[in-house]
Amino acid sequence: MSKIWDIAIIGSGPAGMAAALYASRAGRETVIIEKFFAGGQVFQTFHIENYPGVKSIDGPSLTDIMADQSTSFGAELMIQEIVSLDLKAQPKEIHFKNGETLLTKTIILAMGAQPKLMEVKGEEEFTGRGVSYCATCDGAFYRGKEVAVVGGGDSALEEAMFLTRFASKVSIIHRRNEFRATKIIQDRIKAQENVELITPYVVKEVVGEGKMTGLILSNRETGEERNLEAEGVFVYVGYAPNTELVTQQVECQDNYILADDRDMSTSVEGVFAAGDLRVKNLRQVVTAVADGAIAAVSADHYLNELE
């Protein structure tokens, strides 16, 4: 008979890593399942300065520390692509692309979120040839060049700040005149000489030939159009939860999972949710790890009751 795990954690961002740490330290047979590599979105973050206890660190380094700590108490990291889940089965079933099935008594959903697209003409065509969703990954290709950033949240402004190290000019295109980003980040950006704020504009089209050469922008108040020359555009217009595998099985709101704030339980018994994929007010590393810890302790309590 196949092995039955105590706790299977899906996703290895900060929420999943924290859950693995708490689950394995509780003595539970724990597996973390990840599609590509450990880390989640934080892996692509160039600078983190608001995670208490760590004054300043880059995303990959924080990921390394978390992965090392989380697996040091026996949790196993498994790289597998999941094609479907049966959350209500007893034990619960996780089906992989390679045809294998993993059985587990409890599941912690921690698949996080992924960048939203602008959904404009040329975006798909020039992805990887000018259009990027990761300044940390691609910023260095734009040394001495003009680039644009789209969005007005923390991600857009923080990553724009990172791009000022390489690019000769960074134009930030935002659809409103007010920015959503934290004030300290706004102040830093406004003090940068090679940054231009273009508001209230949206991108209408990404243009180029073979590779991107610029953007057509549209003013949201006047409808006026203007062209902006740029060799790259970095898109930070928010995130969408990675919940397509479970939206038919657990209660969701706008595709975000509804979990009880007290114990991270979902509408399905023995299934918990942690991190950016659940309905919550603040999506940060610090809140993701808190969710993960609570979810793991709740899964442990649930298993105690089963036993």
Catalytic residues: 134, 137-138
Sequence-distant (6+) residues with CB within 8 A of 233 are 130, 131, 132, 147, 148, 149, 150, 203, 206, 212, 215
Choices 125-133, 154-162, 217-225, 244-252; region in contact with ligand NAP by CB under 6 A: 154-162
Q: Binding ligand NAP by CB under 6 A: which of 25, 175, 204, 220?
A: 175
Amino acid found at 37: F
14-25 vs 285-306: helix crossing angle, rounded to 10: 40
- Return the SS3 of 146: strand
Residue 13 binds to ligand NAP (criterion: CB under 6 A): no
DSSP element (H, E) containing 75: none
Residue 202 binds to ligand NAP (criterion: CB under 6 A): yes
Q: Binding ligand NAP by CB under 6 A: which of 13, 91, 130, 151?
A: 151
Choices 30-38, 65-73, 149-157, 260-268; region in contact with ligand NAP by CB under 6 A: 149-157
Q: Looking at residues 100 to 139 of the shown chain, list those that interact with ligand NAP (rule: CB under 6 A).
A: 118
State the sign of the Cα–Cα–Cα–Cα dihedral 222, 121, 170, 231: negative
**Least distance to ligand NAP, CB of residue 158, Å:** 5
Residue 280 binds to ligand NAP (criterion: CB under 6 A): no
User: From edge to edge, which strands make up the β-sheet containing 131-132?
Assistant: 131-132, 232-235, 146-150, 169-173, 195-198
**Closest CB to ligand NAP among residues 103, 202:** 202
Residues lying near ligand NAP in the complex (CB under 6 A) are found at: 50, 118, 150-156, 158, 175-176, 180, 202, 236-239, 283-284
